Amino acid sequence: MKVAILGATGAVGREMMKILAERNFPVDELHLLASQRSVGQQLPWKGEKLAVELACDEAFQGMDIVLGAAENDIAQRFAPAIVKAGAVFVDNSSAFRLDPNVPLVVPEISPEDAKKHQGIIASPNCTTIISLVAINALAKTSPIESIVASSYQATSGAGAAGPVELMKQVDALRSGHQPEIRVFQHQIAFNVIPQIGGDAYMGYTSEEMKLQNEGRKILHMPEMKVSCTCVRVPVVRSHSVSLLVRTRDKITVEQARQLIANAPGCRLVDDLANKSYPMPLDTSDQDLVFVGRIREDLTSENGLNIWCCGDQVRKGAATNAVQIAQLLVK
């Protein structure tokens, strides 16, 4: 296998390298592609150093799989060259997620969709992945009619500069100085910011609409309704999501616990009496979605309230893309 990573020097690109090695992905050649300013930079790979190469149309010749870890405009710029070269583009940006000709894949949920690709496979938004992995077993038992979600998203979701800004602001405030605000709209230290993304639809942000738009496509439930609020919180890594899931048929709490405990990609952590529930610190730097606080909703007959956490850099991005590549190898 000849594999390239487009956007290899970013946080997700570096994580892709780490996960390819962890999972013993059959890589004969790995090419690290980035912009001109990163060319020649050395990145560690299996005890060696690989030099970053220039991302250009010619760089994709001979590649089998290209993992995309770049922004939308870069993905759109190079997608035609990748497909023309005969490689499969597994893209982590949002550029192609809602394209009807591009499958949107979470391997634990929709592996068969990967076979329908025409050269491009999209990996969903991180919060969408974490949420749907947590509730997929419920969706298979009874169609989901609606979801009310609130996400508590870590600063690293804004890139490597996010946690740096959080730490710098904490240090500044502790020493009595005014914190500098660059990455986020407002001070993130000791604060929460109820906006991720720009205004997209009736006061909902672009990030908030992804769970409905992408969720419908992944679950093949075009009528599913989702109301979502996305909040940036002063956490370094791992997103948390509160979900009120309303199903067509009633699923009891005990049924839900059993279904989720046996679901691929999930770990049931649900023991309120012993203070055991999913938390960002426990779910960082691993690939399972932890699910807990499962209880009947008090406002709807067929509703369940669920709390889940997952590492948005790994399962929410890099790992999901590598898992898709593993499907292609199979």
Q: How many CB atoms lie within 10 A of CB 27?
A: 18
CB 307 within 8 A of CB 125: no
* 76-97 b/e (C-beta count within 10 Å ≥ 16 → b): eebbebbbebebbbbbbbbbbb
Q: How far is CA 209 from CA 97, 147, 219, in A?
A: 13, 12, 16
Catalytic residue among 31, 117, 126, 308: 126
Report the interhelical angle of 253-261 vs 126-141 (nearest 10°): 120
Report the interhelical angle of 126-141 vs 206-219 (nearest 10°): 40
Alpha-carbon distance 313 to 299, whole Å? Answer: 34
Asked about 186 being catalytic, the answer comes back as: no
- Check residue 304 and give left, alpha or beta (phi > 0: left; psi -120 to 50: alpha): beta
Asked about 239 being catalytic, the answer comes back as: yes
Closest CA to 104 of 128, 82, 86, 84: 128
Point out which residues pair with 146 in neighbouring strands. 225, 246
In this structure, the dihedral spanned by the alpha carbons of residues 248, 251, 253 and 255, taken in order and rounded to 10 degrees, is: -150
Q: How many CA atoms lie within 13 A of 26 on its CB side?
A: 8
CB 91 within 8 A of CB 109: no
> Which parts of the chain fold into alpha helices (H)?
11-22, 72-84, 126-141, 161-174, 206-219, 253-261, 280-283, 319-329
Catalytic residue among 31, 239, 266, 308: 239
Active-site positions?
A: 126, 239
